[in-house]
Amino acid sequence: MKELAIGIDLGGTNLKGCVMNRAGEILHLIRIPTEADKGGQRVLENILRLIGQLIQKQGAADSILGAGIGSPGFVDTDGTVLGGAENLPGWKGTRIYEPIREKHGLAATAGNDVTVTALAEFKFGAAKGMTNAVCLALGTGIGGGIVTNGHIYKGTHGMAGELGHICVETGGLQCTCGMKGCVEQYASATGIVKNAKLICDAVAENERTPFVDAVTTRPQSVTSKLVYDFVKKNDPIALRVHEYVCERLGRAVGAIFNTLAPDRLILGGGVMMAGQVIIDAVSRHSAKYCWPDIWKRCDIVAAQCGENAGVLGCGAMVFDEMG
Amino acid sequence: MKELAIGIDLGGTNLKGCVMNRAGEILHLIRIPTEADKGGQRVLENILRLIGQLIQKQGAADSILGAGIGSPGFVDTDGTVLGGAENLPGWKGTRIYEPIREKHGLAATAGNDVTVTALAEFKFGAAKGMTNAVCLALGTGIGGGIVTNGHIYKGTHGMAGELGHICVETGGLQCTCGMKGCVEQYASATGIVKNAKLICDAVAENERTPFVDAVTTRPQSVTSKLVYDFVKKNDPIALRVHEYVCERLGRAVGAIFNTLAPDRLILGGGVMMAGQVIIDAVSRHSAKYCWPDIWKRCDIVAAQCGENAGVLGCGAMVFDEMG
């Protein structure tokens, strides 16, 4: 049994690659620029170069079972990028598997970046020892990843886990995807900022707080971190924004719980720097949208794998799928 | 390899049992009364008796791998009924597996009745040859069943697939589960009737149609079949009810598609006697609530396994879980 795997985490800025073992220990870690602006072919060449560097560090490819790639958007089961990765121009249509096999003699597999993160948390982090897990990454957008019956779940054509586009408000805020009311428009970093501005703009003069002043005087510099800095200070309008966005996130979580009844829902991404206050509010609000027996049994917890979750999940996907 | 399985479909009125092979061929089929009113212990005794009769028909238990039970509500992974089966008083708390093993020497497994139906459709019916499938049973309520990566998906404590309780209308109609706006309150047989009455009651005098007359003069005899009889006649108010309930069902389907991206969503249950008109409307409406790339790739089809779907799914669960 080959004991090592290569994991490649494809980001808009950096390509991060590791050689890891089945226990999730990283033996080698290399980071190179993605050069996304130079097109999909260049990105692929950089992935191939990075795999080469990792094999060289390891000394030989003999003990490496395969290479796993985590990509934004969708990768079909045959290794063709189907789209959904707007920050990687020309990446759509790229065929990933053959070049890796031809150049390095390695079998390859790919998955959505949040899907592999869910697998990392399942194998090595917040859902270790469980059977079923769902991950929600609250970043610029909201991504999702699912593990069912102990295995990564990709869905047809690798498209499962678009949890950020669960509609939580019929006729709600316009989403970049073309639909309206997607949860991403409320509980992503971008969504929190957008709703903070909308709520602050609607505040009556006698309700103004330091948070409202901060948002309305410098609208360009509002971040989700700023919102949660004021939440910590118990600013009533910041708390109103917090409850508003977590209520909508709770709607999506209720639908996810009713559908999958996972052992654990893992919240990650930059927004989760705010920590337990989000978990508490989402847990409370999701109760209104979830069958009570299920809600009682599904935990909501914070991600644990940190910045290496991506590469760890990619390697874990190799072991999960190639044995 | 043992080539046969016993499947037991537990209904509020009848217990149906079969001996079947891996190809889904039913060798023996027996139906006895459930006697649900006589309590959970009697129901269990009847299940044991039915299994005995099936073994006797087969001649011996040697070639039988195990027994699978499909039950309304939730059955935990250890075979304890957790609840959710209101039409089976005293069934909650029953431990299913040990008595079957003790009395008949057979390993047992259990699952939600719609979950096993999804497996039947996946193995032998509308999703045969696929990898991932979701089933929605539109009956008195709405039940759900999920197959992921080619296997039955039960979720934590056997609770996955409560798709009828996905909230599709914030603050909407009160549901029996305690929540509001569950899709079951709109697109189940009961929900269709309820919304037909609400819509007909609100119709202006100059909008009255034969359908409105039928509903308002004999409200006690309205059924989902009556609604769809008038839909077939293009009655504009019946069509309004149809679009209204299918729009809300489309919201749930959109959330399910975004989450699971199944190859196929299978619609079954009594409401589906109306056929293609529901599939067309749900497909159209779900597009508003689903990432476009996913929507294009997920088919909505009618169930194919018919009245034996339950027992077939129970037997298939035995093969799926016991090998």
Q: What is the pLDDT along chain B (323 residues), one digit of tens a residue?
A: 899 999 999 999 999 999 999 999 999 999 999 999 999 999 999 999 999 999 999 999 999 999 999 999 999 989 999 988 888 999 999 999 999 999 999 999 999 999 999 999 999 999 999 999 999 999 999 999 999 999 999 999 999 999 999 999 999 999 999 999 999 999 999 999 999 999 999 999 999 999 999 999 999 999 999 999 999 999 999 999 999 999 999 999 999 999 999 999 999 999 999 999 999 999 999 999 999 999 999 999 999 999 999 999 999 999 999 99
Reported confidence tier of residue A1, pLDDT bands at 50, 70, 90: confident
To the nearest whole angstrom, how far is the Cα of B142 from the nearest Cα of chain A? 12
C-alpha span between A322 and B47 (Å, rounded): 42
Helix (H, G, I), strand (E, B) or coil at B90: coil
Cβ distance of B166 and A255 shorter than 8 Å: yes
pLDDT given for residue A220 in this prediction: 95
Cβ distance of B259 and A259 shorter than 8 Å: yes
Amino acid letter for position A196 = A
Identify the weakest region by mean pLDDT among A129-133, A148-152, B85-89, B212-216.
Answer: B85-89
Task: List chain B residues with CB under 8 Å of A252.
Answer: 255
Cβ distance of A260 and B288 shorter than 8 Å: no
Comparing CB atoms, the residue among B131, B159, B166 nearest residue A293 is B159
Comparing CB atoms, the residue among B82, B177, B262 nearest residue A155 is B262
C-alpha span between B245 and B297 (Å, rounded): 24
To the nearest whole angstrom, how far is the Cα of B155 from the nearest Cα of chain A? 5
* Burial of A246 from C-beta contacts in 10 A (0-12 / 13-18 / 19+): buried
pLDDT given for residue B83 in this prediction: 85
pLDDT given for residue B85 in this prediction: 83
Reported confidence tier of residue A85, pLDDT bands at 50, 70, 90: confident
Mean pLDDT of all residues in A168-179: 95
Comparing CB atoms, the residue among B83, B155, B298 nearest residue A262 is B155
Comparing CB atoms, the residue among B160, B165, B261 nearest residue A156 is B261
Nearest residue to A268 (alpha-carbon basis) of A144, A98, A172: A144
Beta strand pairing call for B14-21 and B26-33: antiparallel
pLDDT given for residue B219 in this prediction: 95
pLDDT given for residue A267 in this prediction: 98
Judged by a CB distance cut-off of 8 A, whether residue A172 touches chain B is: no
Tokens of B91: 């069934």
Cβ distance of A165 and B83 shorter than 8 Å: no
Is the confidence at residue A83, as pLDDT, over 90? no
CB within 8 Å of B70: residues ≥ 6 apart:
B7, B8, B9, B10, B110, B111, B112, B113, B115, B116, B117, B310, B311, B313, B314, B317
User: In this structure, what is the dihedral angle of CA atoms A277, A283, A289, A292, given to the nearest 10 degrees?
Assistant: -160
Using CB atoms and an 8 Å cut-off, which of residues 201-260 of chain B contact chain A?
251-252, 254-256, 258-260
| A59 φ/ψ sector (left φ>0, alpha ψ -120 to 50, else beta) | left
pLDDT given for residue B313 in this prediction: 98
To the nearest whole angstrom, how far is the Cα of A100 from the nearest Cα of chain B? 25
C-alpha span between B238 and B211 (Å, rounded): 6
Tokens of B111: 């699952």
Using CB atoms and an 8 Å cut-off, which of residues 87-116 of chain A contact chain B?
none
Reported confidence tier of residue A285, pLDDT bands at 50, 70, 90: very high
C-alpha span between A81 and A92 (Å, rounded): 5
Q: Which CATH architecture has domain B163-302?
A: 2-Layer Sandwich (3.30)
How many residues belong to chain A? Answer: 323
Using CB atoms and an 8 Å cut-off, which of residues 115-134 of chain A contact chain B?
131-132
Enumerate the H helices of chain A as residue ranges: 40-58, 97-104, 113-124, 184-187, 189-201, 210-217, 224-232, 236-260, 276-286, 292-297, 309-322
Sequence ranges of chain A with CATH classification 3.30.420.40:
4-113+306-322, 163-302
Which CATH number fits the domain A4-113+306-322, given the four candidates 3.90.1150.30, 3.40.50.150, 3.60.40.10, 3.30.420.40? 3.30.420.40
Percent of chain A at pLDDT above 70? Answer: 100
Amino acid letter for position A310 = G
pLDDT given for residue A87 in this prediction: 86
Tokens 């600013």, located at residue: A235
Q: Supply the ipTM of this predicted assembly.
A: 0.96
Nearest residue to A302 (alpha-carbon basis) of A283, A323, A321, A322: A283
